[in-house]
A and B are shown apart, each in its own frame.
Chain A
Amino acid sequence: MLQIRWHSRAGQGAVTGAKALADVMARTGKYVQAYSVYGAEKRGAPMSAYDKIDDKPILDHSKWMIPNYVLVIDPSLVFQEEIVDNTTDDTVFIVTSHMDKEDLISMAKHLEGRKVFVVDAIKISQEEIGRAIPNTPMLGAFMKVSEIIPFEDFLVSIEDILSKFPRKIIDGNLRAIKRAYEEVK
């Protein structure tokens, strides 16, 4: 089972991002769970969301997981040590930051020796979508790093999932996704 944990602030779209990823993967025949851990949070409070992806129905309804991937979509949360909770040496971190990887890790010591990829999802979403909603660019970066499905297939699915939005928003998201796919490193 593939397990993914998102770290976000309420309002940045981690729940929507987790559900979109689950939707994309379900279209390839996988079974999925997407959920988040809620407090009585207000916009801006740190929160986490989760994806489980498997070839068979997912029965485990506990919240606990050992993530294969940790996706951090708020640049300040990279510095919170909670992002390494319950991870292993094989866990891959994809984090949002304007800093380059070496500078970032020198400040976020808990990421030393970890498999870390960096993408500036905030800047990308601001420039391409017009708002700091870093969830879809993070999905683009995740597709590049994980190679979980062909990127072209992902783009077809995500465009359909976004189809309830106006064309301008869809195009902005697709540009952001493609740019994050290219820029993550």
Chain B
Amino acid sequence: MATKYELKSKEIWDGNTAASHALRQAQVDVVAAYPITPSTPIVQNYASFLADGYVDGEFVMVESEHSAMSACVGAAAAGGRVATATSSQGYALMAEVLYQASGMRLPIVMTVVNRALASPLNIHGDHGDMYLGRDAGWIHLIANNPQEAYDMTLCAFKVAEDKSVRLPVTTNQDGFLVSHTAQVVEPLDDDTAYKFIGDYTPLNPMLDTSNPATYGAQTEEEWHFEFKASQHKALMESPAVIDEVFAEFEKLTGRKYNRVESYKLEDADIALVVMGSAYETAMVAVDRAREQGIKVGLVMPRSFRPFPYNEMAEKLKNIKAVAALDRSCPMGAMGALYNEVSGALSANGQAAIMTNYIYGLGGRDTTAEHILEVIKETNENAKAGKRVTDLQGFINLRGPKLSFN
């Protein structure tokens, strides 16, 4: 029986510490991981918790992230509660197995600390890895600070393991800006946290030898399409469960999460769409812009997948101009948030003027002042009633101004 961990009502934790305590409190059966910067402390802390008797499960040391996710798939198919952590190149190396995990409907939880993808090599935060995993069939939840890294990880187990969902979930926090920044976190005590998540009920566990089950079967033309469509249906219908879990979490903690978060949108003329720690920095910029008379608000998809199309469109229904800020280089297109939000508006007959900004690649600092500039440019589009700024701009990029139309 695992020893209870004494926690204060307020801890000073960085995002990694917060995520590792959430994994500990979930009493995961198997963690298989290959540590990588900046998520290393999650794995390191978890191994320490295990060595010190705070966890009853198994920690599997593996030789690569491909093996880490493979071991997670095996352990989850066997019937265990399973989790891991990774970043960047590790995430990329897992890519093949991420699709296996979701296709087999295994509710693995992965705490991702977002980091840029090489080349060039960079250890700092951007959303390149999250965007790489976008279509892998996982639910992707976003945390903007250490408290949220803790809260989203607890919620992730409950969403993933719900009978109607049974899909793997990532929780995402920005490398260093959240993972290595200590802030006040109010954790639940061990019993309360565990009770919220609940006991794990395996579905078709391979260790149940009296009821043999097959995982990862081959399906060709006759069944593959139906299989993938039913997987997609589970993902598309998961919002009902995510909403329930968030509501239950609010009842327990008073902390309210929504699939679309928003800030000062009610009377806004223009809006920014931004995801991750920069959403909070943008709140500071919004307050400054409002002092200058610019009616601006913010929206953020708390779940990047499933993407909350209709809720996003509803939030933006009175908005004249939207700037979507993507923390990943789209390499030959507009950023993902630009595309998703444009699609959501278009599907609902809305015609806000859309622009795209790329920011923060490889940890490039993005200040409230930088975001204020974007707000001012977006306001020019709203005032003109048409796009008068460039379609795609770059925030705090050195050298001559770069933009695309």
Contact = CB atoms under 8 A, between A and B. Distances in A.
Interface of A: 18-19, 22-23, 26-27, 31-36, 38, 40, 58-64
A106 B131 CA distance: 53
A62 B281 contact: yes
B316 interface: no
B181 interface: yes
A62 B178 CA distance: 11
Contacts of B145: 61
B182 interface: yes
A33 B281 contact: no
A64 B180 contact: no
A32 B182 CA distance: 8
Interface in B109-154: 123-124, 144-145
Nearest to B182: A34
Nearest to A35: B181
B248 interface: no
Interface of B: 10, 12, 14, 123-124, 144-145, 174, 176-178, 180-184, 277-278, 280-281, 283-284, 365-368
B180 A38 contact: yes
Contact of A64 (B124, B181, B277, B367): B367
Nearest to A20: B12
Contacts of A40: 123
Given A23-B12, A36-B180, 7 more contacts: A33-B183, A34-B183, A38-B123, A59-B284, A61-B174, A61-B277, A63-B365
Contacts of B183: 22, 31-34, 58
22 contacts: A23-B12, A27-B10, A33-B181, A34-B181, A35-B14, A35-B181, A35-B182, A38-B123, A38-B124, A38-B176, A38-B180, A40-B123, A58-B183, A59-B283, A59-B284, A60-B284, A60-B368, A61-B280, A61-B281, A62-B368, A63-B177, A63-B365
The 9 A-B pairs at the shortest CB distance, nearest first, are namely: A61-B277, A35-B181, A59-B280, A62-B367, A34-B182, A23-B12, A61-B177, A63-B365, A61-B281
B368 A35 contact: no
B365 to A, nearest CB: 5
Given A26-B184, A35-B181, A38-B123, A62 B366 contact: yes
A19 B181 CA distance: 9
Contact of B182 (A19, A60, A61): A19
Contacts of B12: 19, 22-23, 26, 32, 34
A69 B395 CA distance: 29
Nearest to B277: A61
Looking at A18, A32, A33, the one whose CB has the most chain B CB atoms below 10 A away is: A33
A181 B217 CA distance: 69
A22 B144 CA distance: 19
Contacts of B10: 26-27
A27 B312 CA distance: 39
Nearest to B278: A61
A38 B115 CA distance: 13
A180 B370 CA distance: 40
Contacts of A33: 181-183
B12 to A, nearest CB: 4
Contact of B365 (A22, A26, A32, A64): A64
Contacts of B366: 62
Nearest to B146: A33
A20 to B, nearest CB: 9
A119 to B, nearest CB: 25
A56 to B, nearest CB: 11
A62 B144 CA distance: 13
Contacts of B182: 18-19, 22-23, 32-35
Contacts of A58: 183
A172 to B, nearest CB: 23
Nearest to A24: B12
A144 B10 CA distance: 26
Contacts of A19: 12, 182
Contact of B184 (A18, A31, A36): A31
